[in-house]
Structure 1
Amino acid sequence: MAVVDPLPTPRAPLTRPGTTLLAPPEDASFLIKPADKSYRHQYSNIYFIRLRALRQHVEQRAKRRWGEVAGNPIFVPRVLDVEKGQLCFIIGTVYMDMPLKPNVLEDIARDRSIPAPPPREKYHSENDNVMLEDESGRICLVGERLNNAGLVTGVIMGALGIETNNGDFEVVDICFPGMAPQPSAGLPWPAPKKSDDSMDVDGQSSAGADEWVALVSGLEVGAANAAEGQVQLLAEYLAGEVGGLSDQSQSARISRLIIAGNSLGPIQASASTCTAEPERKSRKYGHDTSFTPHPTQNLAAHLTDVSRSIPVHLLPGPSDPAATILPQQPLPRAMFGGAAHYATFKCESNPTYICVAPAREPAPSSSRASQPGASTSKGKVNGMSAHPDKAEPTRSILVHSGQPVDDMFKYVCTPPTTRMKLVESTLRWRHVAPTAPDTLWCHPFFLKDPFVMAQTPDLYIVGNQPAFATKLVQDDGDEDVEDETERSTKRCRIVLLPRFRESGLLVLVNLRTLEVRRVQFAVEGMSAGGGDS
């Protein structure tokens, strides 16, 4: 008689860790307030605000860096006050004069139905010029130091050099603001208590019981060749309903899910549709017969299933039904049916800051925690901590859907510059989207530039990238600075997320150690995009 081996079961019920969601600082919010919803302002004011916010940081670093350089360079506050033959350093905003950049004539051509040239993959060319400007004017920068600097428009920079007889500024060295202070530095995330349900994956049992955050982007539900099978597996995995004991133990340690844009597939119009005469189509219930609500309904069903188990943060992306200009505002909750009834489901702006802290008490195991509208822990208002303790360890997560990196990538020569290098540079530039508003559309802010980094995040997530990549960036700080926050060591984990529809990849990040793991989803006989493998 055949003997059937018993199914492996955990020695104790699997419990999901709960983290406390904190409200981000007021200066780190990307929500557009009613008072700022005006398009009457000039975009030039954003550059002046950015320069005023970051100039002092560049000046302090430049004086420490070049204070003992031979020749005793002096600081010239205005770029037009530079004297020929005098070693000095200046501070201003970088402007890339690139002949291949889009111009207003192309926009007029589109408005008048004149065939415009197709969009270019790169703006970079050998005829590019680097300018540095401030309130007084603009000066042209030259020199070998600029060749591999990977500069883009909008970066606040200091330049050390001498003005030549031609009126150009010969650059010897450059300086940036450096990484912003990190409030969480020196406050380690607490180690988990050893329990029977801690997972032992890849031989790293010490990290198994930690809280993990799940990251994904580019679900593109409803797109051509959509990865519907992989999306269903993803939802079941996050709910702990698929895989063996090891997979269920690992998914049980996930405290929240972040979806970094492009949850819905783009609308693709065929060439014949654009050129042919519009034909009359029958309508049914007030909609065109080609209209279908299924992509939104399918996405809402998946989000509802996941929101029953863990908190979900949803960001809009380029292909989602949201405004094009940055920062993209949160998608309407009413779009997502049953998921909107859960307090664990949150629609975020793009970009957004997500701040979490360790749970002050174990997550409740009663059925009320999974009921619609129920909060996930005590002491919260709208899912956020009402009275966060300033001394408690926190994790700051900066997320965007990839538009700033995609736009900056057009400015640089590749190789040697990579997408990872550009993202790392934004930390040292203290700016998330420096090319806005030049070639990246953004809101005409008048009183502030929300893309300036007031603090260095612990986790920096960029969605919808061609391939997965990660790097741990560390900065020892400046010991000579009076500000204690500037002297502290900064550490930031950068994660570039690929499109899930093409890769089937889910990324997990350990909130205590910032360790990264990958989970691959695939259906036998099908590729990640839904076609035959």
Structure 2
Amino acid sequence: MSRVTTHVLPPISNNASSFLIEAATRSYKHQYANIYYLRLQHLKDIVERRASNKWKKAAGNAVFVPRVLEVVKAQLSYIVGTVYMEMPLKPNVLRDLARDRSLPNPAPPPKMCSSEDSIMLEDESGRIVLVGDVIKSAQLVTGVILAALGMETPSGEFEVVDICFAGLAPQTRNQPLTQPTQSDAMEVDSEQTLDRRDDDPWLAFVSGLDVGAEGGQDAPIELLTGYLTGEMDASHAPVPPSQISRLIIVGNSLAPYEAAVQPKEVTPTELRKKKFGNEASTFSNVPGITLANHLLDIGQTLPIHLLPGPNDPAGSIMPQQPFPRAMFGKVASYATFSCETNPTFLHLSNAESRTSDDGSISCNLLINSGQPLNDMFTYLPSPPVTRLSTLESTLRWRHQAPTAPDTLWCHPYFTSDPFVIKETPNLYVVGGQPRFATKVVRESMEETEDGSERSCRIVMVPTFSRTQELVLVNMRTMETRTMRFNVEGVGNGVHSVQEAAL
């Protein structure tokens, strides 16, 4: 089988963030407050310029106040700062320390939002409470940089009448996307609206294989492997396997390990025979070997990018560092097998170098395994907020993990905040989600500082162990399709592979 090929190239600009923590910066002695300061310093001027353009013709001659505590009562003004959400249900270390330790900790609530929440805006001078219907309906999370237009009330609060974010970051190369038709709001694009070619490279995304989970997903994963390698009949597949140029595994490849040791009475003689009086390890390496075998089968025909996720045996703080290649056996010797950080930024092209100017297809990808979105979603009421709308907001905030380090663990950076989105990708993919969803996010020439149009396809990749879905994206048109690998009557060997319904 002849397969369409793509290549990983260096980023076009220097704005692409590196999430690899080098030895020189791997330090934990710094305060987390540095991250908020660096974030505000990077985005404050951008937000201020955008707010100035937005409100320069506003009635009342609004003036910019450089510090939030310098606002004047009854004077229309706008301020820029970092959002802080005061939420009674949010985890609190001091409250945990004061709790009666003889009682088990209560289960964390699925949502941290409540009617008692308050929203504040802070900078280096202090904090001011934001009030008003506009700010209550804005659906914000801690760590967002914004400008607020309004005036201080007699009680010392700042009543907001409008807000402004940084907007989409500059885009070095605007990949052609579908026209802004009804397909932008559909889960899967309609074939009639897109110009598909037989030589278009497609990218395959899967998340949450959960190899080793109880109940097992062996049959769907075997079907997935057979499709990607071209060993299975794919006549009814939405995309021929020969057009899939890469597989990107977006976290949670292995199921979380759960000890299965049952406590039992131990005699003194047995205790003396045990090393340090401990039970022998019950850890099984079978899931790791099984995953390595699947990767080897796929890696022989297809380049693979592997990101760690929250359930994988990797560091729990963001950004997660790459897996050790030695974990995966023979496939680790392939140059086409890449262990990535989480998040990661990739620049892909069907040309071998950037000097090629023969109509080559190029695409910038920003990918993470879902921890930032899952954490932000606990701040927001749903409905009306959806995961897709929250993911869209991160582009307009220019930050993919604003809740770090407040409720999302992250490395204590002290020179830069790598989670700031300095360049709008063509494709923004998030794994570990309950269901598939996608949308094209756009900004017109009138909304951007340089007068250029910007657009980005955002994609939520569902957990494979629950949905058996594979997501496919066309690198040229950003068309999206899904495939579901259903297994029916496994005992009789009957299976079906079907495209997700529109």
Question: TM-score band, normalised by the shorter chain?
Answer: 0.7 to 0.9
Q: Which residue, out of 270, 294, 308, partners 2:286? A: 294
Q: Report the CA distance between 1:394 and its aligned residue.
A: 2.2
User: Do 2:227 and 2:234's aligned partners in 1 also have CA atoms closer than 8 Å?
Assistant: no
Q: Report the CA distance between 1:245 and its aligned residue.
A: 4.2
**SS of residue in 2 equivalent to 1:162:** strand
Q: Does 1:454 align with 2:443?
A: no
Letter in structure 2 aligned against 1:254: I
- Aligned position for 1:445: 413
Q: Does 1:306 align with 2:298?
A: yes
- Aligned position for 1:173: 162
Q: Does 1:522 align with 2:490?
A: no
Rounded Cα–Cα distance in structure 1 between residues aligned with 2:360 and 2:415: 32
Rounded Cα–Cα distance in structure 2 between residues aligned with 1:111 and 1:350: 37
Q: Does 1:257 align with 2:283?
A: no
- Aligned position for 2:7: 20
**SS of residue in 2 equivalent to 1:288:** coil
Letter in structure 1 aligned against 2:4: P
What is the aligned residue count?
471
Q: Report the CA distance between 1:479 and its aligned residue.
A: 6.4
Rounded Cα–Cα distance in structure 2 between residues aligned with 1:186 and 1:308: 30
Which aligned pairs between 1:106-145 and structure 2 lie closer than 5 A? 107-108=96-97, 115-145=104-134
Q: Report the CA distance between 1:278 and its aligned residue.
A: 8.8
User: Do 1:470 and 1:494's aligned partners in 2 also have CA atoms closer than 8 Å?
Assistant: yes
Which aligned pairs between 1:373-392 and structure 2 lie closer than 5 A? none
**SS of residue in 1 equivalent to 2:487:** coil
Q: Does 1:344 align with 2:333?
A: no
Q: Which residue, out of 225, 242, 247, partners 2:232? A: 242
Q: Which residue, out of 195, 205, 212, partners 1:215? A: 205
Q: Report the CA distance between 1:184 and its aligned residue.
A: 1.1
Q: Which residue, out of 499, 503, 507, partners 2:463? A: 499
Q: TM-score, normalised by structure 1?
A: 0.83
Q: Report the CA distance between 1:92 and its aligned residue.
A: 0.1
Letter in structure 2 aligned against 1:233: L
**SS of residue in 1 equivalent to 2:481:** strand
Gaps of 5+ in 2: 179-189, 492-502
Q: Which residue, out of 251, 257, 267, partners 2:257? A: 267
**SS of residue in 1 equivalent to 2:240:** helix
Letter in structure 2 aligned against 1:179: L
Q: Does 1:473 align with 2:441?
A: yes
CA distance 1:389–1:67, shift in 2 (3 Å): farther
Q: Report the CA distance between 1:113 and its aligned residue.
A: 7.0
Rounded Cα–Cα distance in structure 2 between residues aligned with 1:388 and 1:357: 11
> Greater CA deviation, 326-335 or 515-524?
515-524
Q: Report the CA distance between 1:488 and its aligned residue.
A: 1.4
CA distance 1:248–1:59, shift in 2 (3 Å): closer
Q: Report the CA distance between 1:393 and its aligned residue.
A: 5.1
Rounded Cα–Cα distance in structure 1 between residues aligned with 2:418 and 2:101: 35
- Aligned position for 1:85: 74
Deviations 1:34-55 (A, max 9, x none): 1110000000010000000001
Q: Does 1:52 align with 2:41?
A: yes
Q: Report the CA distance between 1:444 and its aligned residue.
A: 0.2
**SS of residue in 1 equivalent to 2:79:** strand
Letter in structure 2 aligned against 1:459: L
- Aligned position for 1:418: 386
Rounded Cα–Cα distance in structure 2 between residues aligned with 1:398 and 1:38: 26
Q: Which residue, out of 511, 522, 528, partners 2:475? A: 511
CA distance 1:33–1:228, shift in 2 (3 Å): same
**SS of residue in 2 equivalent to 1:252:** helix
Q: Which residue, out of 362, 375, 379, partners 1:407? A: 375
**SS of residue in 2 equivalent to 1:433:** coil
CA distance 1:480–1:242, shift in 2 (3 Å): closer
**SS of residue in 2 equivalent to 1:412:** coil
User: Do 1:187 and 1:393's aligned partners in 2 also have CA atoms closer than 8 Å?
Assistant: no
Letter in structure 2 aligned against 1:445: Y
Letter in structure 1 aligned against 2:335: A
Letter in structure 2 aligned against 1:240: G
Q: Report the CA distance between 1:209 and its aligned residue.
A: 3.1
**SS of residue in 2 equivalent to 1:28:** coil
Q: CA RMSD in A?
A: 2.8
Letter in structure 1 aligned against 2:385: T
Rounded Cα–Cα distance in structure 2 between residues aligned with 1:255 and 1:178: 32
User: Do 1:350 and 1:400's aligned partners in 2 also have CA atoms closer than 8 Å?
Assistant: yes
Gaps of 5+ in 1: 1-13, 190-200, 361-384, 528-533
**SS of residue in 2 equivalent to 1:522:** strand
- Aligned position for 2:499: none
Rounded Cα–Cα distance in structure 2 between residues aligned with 1:250 and 1:492: 25
Rounded Cα–Cα distance in structure 2 between residues aligned with 1:480 and 1:323: 38
Deviations 1:171-205 (A, max 9, x none): 0000000000111127799xxxxxxxxxxx96778
CA distance 1:29–1:287, shift in 2 (3 Å): farther
Over the matched positions of the two proteins, sequence identity in percent amounts to: 52
- Aligned position for 1:230: 220
User: Do 1:217 and 1:497's aligned partners in 2 also have CA atoms closer than 8 Å?
Assistant: yes
Q: Report the CA distance between 1:118 and its aligned residue.
A: 1.2
- Aligned position for 1:490: 454
Q: Report the CA distance between 1:117 and its aligned residue.
A: 1.8
Rounded Cα–Cα distance in structure 1 between residues aligned with 2:288 and 2:7: 29
Letter in structure 2 aligned against 1:349: T
User: Do 1:109 and 1:116's aligned partners in 2 also have CA atoms closer than 8 Å?
Assistant: no
Q: TM-score, normalised by structure 2?
A: 0.88
Rounded Cα–Cα distance in structure 1 between residues aligned with 2:386 and 2:111: 13
Rounded Cα–Cα distance in structure 2 between residues aligned with 1:521 and 1:126: 43
